[in-house]
Amino acid sequence: MTREERREALVAAALVVVEREGLGGASARAIVAEAGMPLGALHYAFASLDHLLAATLDAVTDQERLAAEAPISAGVDAGLEATLAAGLDAYVSLLVARPARELAYLELMLHASRDRLDLPPAPGRYERSYGLVAALLEEAAAATGCTWTTPPPVLARHTVAMLDGITTTWLADHDDQAAHASARFLAASLAARSLKED
């Protein structure tokens, strides 16, 4: 295996372990055992277990981006609000289909946040999410002939915060209808910060 292939296999294994056993069960030994590798393989591919867990966070973020991006890439042309709602509904559907994966993501994010408790303000592990959401907002506006009246990076932070809320409340009550309604509320709130180009 190349180093990159080893990294990908360890990320996939880490996600399986955290989904199945929670963050508390995500030891280096459990992860390499899941990947079918010797313990030294982790340190060949990553500087530390925390670096592997950070890469696992990034992998889940990428999966969420692909789910939300699909309606835009498919050429949804029913206006900005409908396009955003379709992307956000796709995220909720991913949450409903893979709840353990989203719970694993939250556990990993909170674990990473513990290291920042005494540090000054900075995006931290959410920086990647902010950037990806801002890019998706720009893509949705371009696809529907709109411009944002609020900068996409500002809207991205609001979006990420509300998506976390949708995720945690759904994990608590499993109310699919309420989660989709919240997604549509978010889509309408975002679309209200846009103008249709002439």
pLDDT tens-place string over residues 2-23: 889 999 999 999 999 988 988 8
Domain 56-196 listed as CATH 1.10.357: yes
Higher pLDDT, 23 or 174: 174
Worst-scoring range by mean pLDDT, 43-52, 67-76, 93-102?
A: 67-76
Residue 196: strand, helix, or coil: strand
Tallying the residues shown for the chain, one arrives at 198
Q: Model confidence over 92-147: pLDDT tens digits? A: 998 999 898 888 888 888 887 887 788 888 777 888 889 999 999 999 999 889 99
Enter the DSSP assignment of 47.
S
- CB distance 133 to 160 below 8 Å: yes
Higher pLDDT, 56 or 179: 179
Read out DSSP for 48-96?
SHHHHHHHHHHHHHHHHHHHHHHHHHTT--S-HHHHHHHHHHHHHHHHH
Q: Would you kindly state where each structural domain of the chain is located, as residue ranges?
A: 1-46, 56-196
For 1-46, CATH number?
A: 1.10.10
Matching CATH topology for 1-46 and 56-196? no
